[in-house]
Structure formats: C-alpha cells, structure tokens
Structure 1
C-alpha cells in the first residue's frame, strides 16, 4: 500500500501503512461515511496494490458492489474475507491468488462464480452462503478444499466436480433446491464429517451416506422424503446421526434383498406359506377397544387364516371397562411417545414366559434398533393399580426395584450401579459383552429427568428403555399382561412395534385365542392422544373381517 495522504487519515489503514503490517480489517464504513471520501475503485487499487505484504484482507459491510481486477495482484494473500457486501460479480483475476487458502464471499448478490475459482491450488475453505448461485464451477482441481458452504442459494443439483482424492470434511448445502444425490457423492466418503442438506427437495433415501466412515453430523430435516419413518426420525431435534446411518444401512440391505429377483420372491412366498402352516390351531384375537363415549368399549374377534382355513371373522360388542394412562407434560422433551394394551386371560407356563421374553428381546434388536428408537415393556397387570401415569422424574427422586433385584434404589443409583457392574463384567469376561440391562443405560444416563411409568400407588413399573421393575415381572401366575411401547421418535413407530409384537406372539404359537384390551393414553389436560388397538390396528393378512356393533342391545352390522 502507498503512503496516500487520504488513506493515512483512516486509522485502520494508517497503522497498516506506517507499520508495514500483513493484515488489514476494514468493516462497516459504507460510502458517504468515509472521511476523507474515497471511492471503491480507489480504495481497492490501494489495498490490492502489487508487491503489498498483506496476506489477510477483510473488507466487510462496506456496500461494495464490484470487486475490481486489481484483486489478483496481491500474490501473497492467504485469506480474503468479503462477506456482507453487495457484490454481483467476481473477476477471473481472483484465480491469480495462488497462495489463497480461505475465501469468504457469503451474503452478497452473486448468481455465478468465475471458473478461475476452481484453479486455486491451496484453497481449503470456500464460503458462499446467502447468495443467488444456481451452479458451481468445476472444482476438480481444488485438491486441498476441506470446507464448502453454499447454503441459502439456488442450487438445483448436488455439486459433483470434486477431486478424486477429495479432502472435503464439511459440506453445507442447506436451503437450496436439490432434488437428488448423485453417485459422485461416493468420492467424498473417506473424509466427510459434517453434511447439512436440510431444507431441500430430496425425495429418495440418501443411501450414499451409508459408506461415510467418519461422519459425525448429518442434517436432513425439511426435505420431501417418501419414507415417513425416516422423515419423522430426522425431524426429531434429538436425533443422533448414528441412528440415521443405521436406519439407512438396514433399509439398504432390505432393498438389495428385495431386488434379488424372482427366486428371492419365490423363496419369500414359500417362507410365508410355511409360517402359516406352522400354526396348528387357528389363533383367535379378541380386541376390546374404546368407542367415542368413554363408557363404551367394543370386543373384536380376529380369526387368522391358517392351513385348511378359508376365512377369519371379526366380531364387535360393547364393554364397559377402561384403562387409562396419563402422559405428563414433562415427558414431551424426554421420551414423548407411548402406546399400551392388555393381553387378557393368558395361560403361561415357564416355557411360555421364556418364549414371550425372547420375542421381546429379538424385536429390541431388530425393529427397535437396539432400543435406540423404541422399547417394549411387559408386566403382570394384576399387580398394578390403575390409572397409570407416564412421566419424567428427577433421577435422585425416582425409586425403582430393578429386575432381578430386591431393594429399591434411586434412578441415579441405578445408573451408577449399572455402569460399575458393566465395567466389572467386561474385566471379568475380558470382552465387551454385557447384559441388555447394562448396555442400554447410556440412553438415559445424561438426561436431567428419567422417563418412567407409574401406577396409582406410585409404584415405578418401568424406566424405559432400560429396565422394568421386579414387582410386576411376568411369571406362571400371570393371567393378564400389560404391554407398553415407548419411543423418542414417533407415535407411529410405537403402533407398528406393538402390532409386530402381538403378531409374533400369535404366529409363533406363544399365546392363542388371545384377548387384547384397549388402553387409552391421555395428555395431562385430558386430551386423548392415542387408543390401542383402534379399528385400524392389528390388520392380520388373510383375515376376512366383519364388524358387529352392539349399542343399547341393538346390533348394527358394519361392512
């Protein structure tokens, strides 16, 4: 920079000129407020002068509308920050900044970039947020690029021209109009750690991220995914990236399996037939479900079509008994979703109890995704006092007798005990294998309040997804089983898992002639949240359903 007398009047510039500094930061001095007044072209000609020692230049909030060609003369420049101006054009001369490592052009009025930006060999950070850019230049020569932010622009396609050995670890593309992800994303898998594609128009599941080995943050909210379960999962503010990746991996495997061809379909059909044939006695499910009036209930009988059976029947009759669960407002931020029902008149042997718990554990590992999205709890209903309360309690106040224990302890003590026991088991066994109770404790131990289900006497019967209480565990004396499914993700997941649990009980012959009584979940203000089973639940394949509604002893036939 020269010893221009006018420039010396600016304190920011005076220090740089007289002391030969290598950094210049000039901000919030728009045209008309400069004293003495210097136009943009004069200012840039002085700042971007040949042979200047500057390696850091920050010109922000100056209302610059043009970046002049002289910018290419600062050959030692490593960091150029021009955000929050009114730039509409970047000259190709910017490609002459061969030492440039950091370029910030965010919050301007750019609708395109010169191809020369793709020829900066040492550029590691490129910030372009809040412009009007609809496409990016070829970036295949940006071999050192690690951070790219093109959020809040007008991109309609995912950028693809990255180097083969890309070092990119942060990719911010939220708030654009991107509809699909190309296979070129695979070239980024080795280093990507943070990806934000929220607020776009993506429809298909982004399976390409399954292979990202180092990814820590994946933001996909507010897209147009057709998979509703995935959509709910990503829009939960508490979702974890590992849960998204696990879901995508499982869906990807299922998709590959389903596309294996006709042979796979034939085998699947054969497996389905064999499954029906393995039920020697036709199971009957009787469902007691609530009417619009609280005092009315209905009984439904499902006949499941098995071998040599031609039809199934559903009968509906009114009943007058109801079980309620109240969900407190504290659970909304902790574990908001719960669905319950009662399996009535069960005949359990020791073998049946074991079989039922095995079904429960297998579902925890499969559809519940290791209890990360949901968990199932089963209890001896006759040892409960209704109505029940589903709440969230301070772990120092919460008291429970965990399964296989005989003494009440606090939630805090439960957490520390399980952590200590898990460590002892690992040391003793010399391997990282611990019991189900131990390995799921991490899901709640950092919460300020622990989710829990309590009866009207204050007995804590479960702390999902970790443990049930000893007092209500299933045994051979159990006649009625209270089933709870809770989730951090969606209510729909609870419904699907409850359906699956009951269907598995039937299809595996664990319980036959099953009676399912509806339980209603109400909010703390009395508003009905969910009733299970409703008329849309427990739709068992190959079952013809007829409904007979009895009100005041007058029967109506519902088609």
Structure 2
C-alpha cells in the first residue's frame, strides 16, 4: 500500500530534475550562459528561481515543448541572447520588448499567429528570427519597423503577401529573409536599405521587383541575393538565367521601369499566382 504513492510523481520528473541540475550548477559556478536544449520542458514553472538569476546573458531553450513565455522573463536584465526556437509558442509576452540588453531573439519554428502590441520597442535588438511561424502583414504592430538597431530580420516560412513600406526605416539592416512566404510584391522602400547585403526572396509569388532593388549593393563578394522559385515576368526570368548581375542591370533600364509601372497599375495578365498549400506545415498542426 505504501508503495502506491510512487505513481503520483509527475511523469517528467527525470527531465525536470535535469533542468534543475543545470540551474543549480549555474548558480554555484556563476555561469552566465544557460543551455536547456531538449530537456522536455513544457513551462517555465519547471525552472524554479530562473528569473532571479539576473546575471544570465545567454538562455537557450530550443527543442522543448514550451507554449507560453512567462512575462517574468523581463527580470533577466542582463540577458543578451534568447533562443526559444522549436517550441510550441502561440504568443509572446509584451514584457519581452522591454529587455534592456537583448540583442538576439530567436523564436523560429513555433506557432505564433500574432505579435504583442508595442513589439518593436526593443532598445538594442540586432537579430530577430521569426521564421517558420504563422505571421502575416496584418499582425505586425505599428512600431515593428522602429527597431533601428536591427541588423538581421528573418521572416521566412510565414504567410506574408505584402511587406509594409515602413520596412525602409530599418536603416541598419544587413540581412532580410523573406523566403517561402506568399509575397506578391516588395515595397519600393526596400531601396532605402542601403546597408543590405543579403536578400532572400525565393519561393514566393513575385512577378516583378521594384527598380529600387538595383540601388542596393547585392553584387559584391560578400553579398547574397536569392530569388529562385518565383513566377517572374519573362524579361526578368530571362535575365535570371544569365545571373543575378544581369537582373540588377536590367532593373535599371527605362524599358523595365515601364514594365514595372504597368504591372503595378493593374496590367497583370490574369489572376495572381496561387498560394502554396501550407495545411500540413508543422506550425499549423495542433499539439
């Protein structure tokens, strides 16, 4: 009879004790980096005392099953790098964007369908990875493009059809990842991103590019431009077969500007290209 109490123990006790062991060791050694990858974590309640560890600078919680981030995470005032990729997150706390030293935030491969109000208030954020979620242009907060310190923005594998013209405000942006969306066009303001060195727009529904893309430095040895798997108008498709440099040069021509303006003014031939079927995407499947 006395042994029956054993069955009352939580199923994830072993996993939880592993996480607790990592926390205890970090406290003892004053380790400023916490690695909690693949510990079977479901919630922050399995990490007692974490939010009191204000000396932590890096927190890695990827490959777990966490669905909510406790707002108390903002107590980690020295946190610079937060990796929550590959979890079950459906939303983010408003407090996240108030973290004073957060430079890198990775919440890719989750189930985010919206972003909290004021999300763009991060004071020093440099890298933001929101790829492989269920986001679109409708859920971007009004201040999203106010993150002037941002150097890399990854929005690939979402549901964007358009990117707001406010994109041009990200003056320090060097990498823009927009692959595998439903993009029908890019804003002309992309040409204002004078520090941009990587543009990933492959596998969308793009037929034309704004001529302003030609103003960017995308042809140097350290630059990258990926644009395959789009239903380009024939002139762009033909130039692409010759190479990215030919596309860039073609975008500068008066001939192309006429084609672009006609296309944007409703001169498209037929309906827009169909969307890809994303019904089996992991981010759509309920846990």
**Same-fold call, TM > 0.5?**
yes
C-alpha separation between the residues in 2 aligned to 1:256 and 1:109? 39
1:217 matched to 2:224: yes
The answer for the alignment partner of 2:44 in structure 1 is 41
Give the aligned partner of residue 58 of structure 1. Answer: 60
Larger RCO (CA under 8 A, 6+ residues apart)? 1
The answer to whether structure 1 residue 154 and structure 2 residue 155 are counterparts is: no
Q: Deviations over 1:63-82 (max 9, x none)?
A: 11111111111111111000
Report the equivalent of 1:399: none
* Bigger radius of gyration: 1
**Root mean square deviation, CA, Å:** 2.5
Is residue 2:212 matched to residue 1:208? Answer: yes
Question: Which position in structure 2 is the counterpart of 1:187?
Answer: 192
Q: Give 1:167 deviation, angstroms.
A: 0.5
Q: Give the Å deviation of 1:8.
A: 8.0
TM-score after normalising by structure 2? 0.75
Structure 2, unmatched stretches of 5+, are 1-15, 261-287
- 1:28 pairs with 2:28: no
Bigger strand share? 1
The residue correspondences of 1:128-147 to structure 2 (distance < 5 A) are 128-135=130-137, 136-137=140-141, 138-147=143-152
Pairing 1:97–2:99 present: yes
Q: Deviations over 1:194-225 (max 9, x none)?
A: 10111111122432211113552221112122
| Alignment-derived partner of residue 254 in structure 1 | 255
Please report how far the alpha carbon of residue 232 of structure 1 lies from its aligned counterpart in structure 2 after TM superposition: 4.4
1:242 aligns with 2:245: yes
Distance 2:170 2:119 in 1: 19
User: 1:167 and 1:9 mapped to 2: Cα distance?
Assistant: 38
Query: Compared with structure 1, are the counterparts of its residues 156 and 44 closer, same or farther at alpha carbon in structure 2 (3 Å cutoff)?
Result: farther
Any gaps of 5 or more consecutive residues in structure 1? Answer: 1-5, 32-38, 260-559
Q: Distance in 2 between matches of 1:9 and 1:125?
A: 27
CA offset at residue 14 of structure 1? Answer: 2.9
Question: By percentage of residues, which structure has more helix?
Answer: 2
Separation in 1, partners of 2:192, 2:99: 27
Question: Residues 477-499 of structure 1, C-alpha deviation per residue, up to 9 Å, x if partnerless?
Answer: xxxxxxxxxxxxxxxxxxxxxxx
Q: Find the residue that maps to 1:171 and give its secondary structure.
A: strand
Shift in Å at residue 180 of structure 1?
Answer: 1.2
CA-to-aligned-CA distance 1:463-512 (integer Å, 9 cap, x gap): xxxxxxxxxxxxxxxxxxxxxxxxxxxxxxxxxxxxxxxxxxxxxxxxxx
Say whether the 8 Å CA contact 1:134–1:153 is kept in structure 2. Answer: yes
Matched pairs, number:
239
Q: Report the equivalent of 2:236.
A: 230
Report SS of the residue matched to 1:222.
coil
User: SS where residue 132 of structure 1 aligns?
Assistant: coil
Q: 2:26 aligns with which of 16, 24, 48?
A: 16
Distance, in Å, in 2 between the alignment partners of 1:132 and 1:165 is 23
**Distance across 2 between alignment mates of 1:219 and 1:205:** 13
Residue 166 to residue 258, structure 1, CA distance change in 2 (3 Å)? closer
Cα gap change, 1:53 to 1:159, in 2 (>3 Å): same
Q: Could you tell me the TM-score, scaled by structure 1's length?
A: 0.40
CA contact 2:99–2:123 (8 Å) conserved in 1: no
> 2: CA distance between counterparts of 1:208 and 1:46?
51
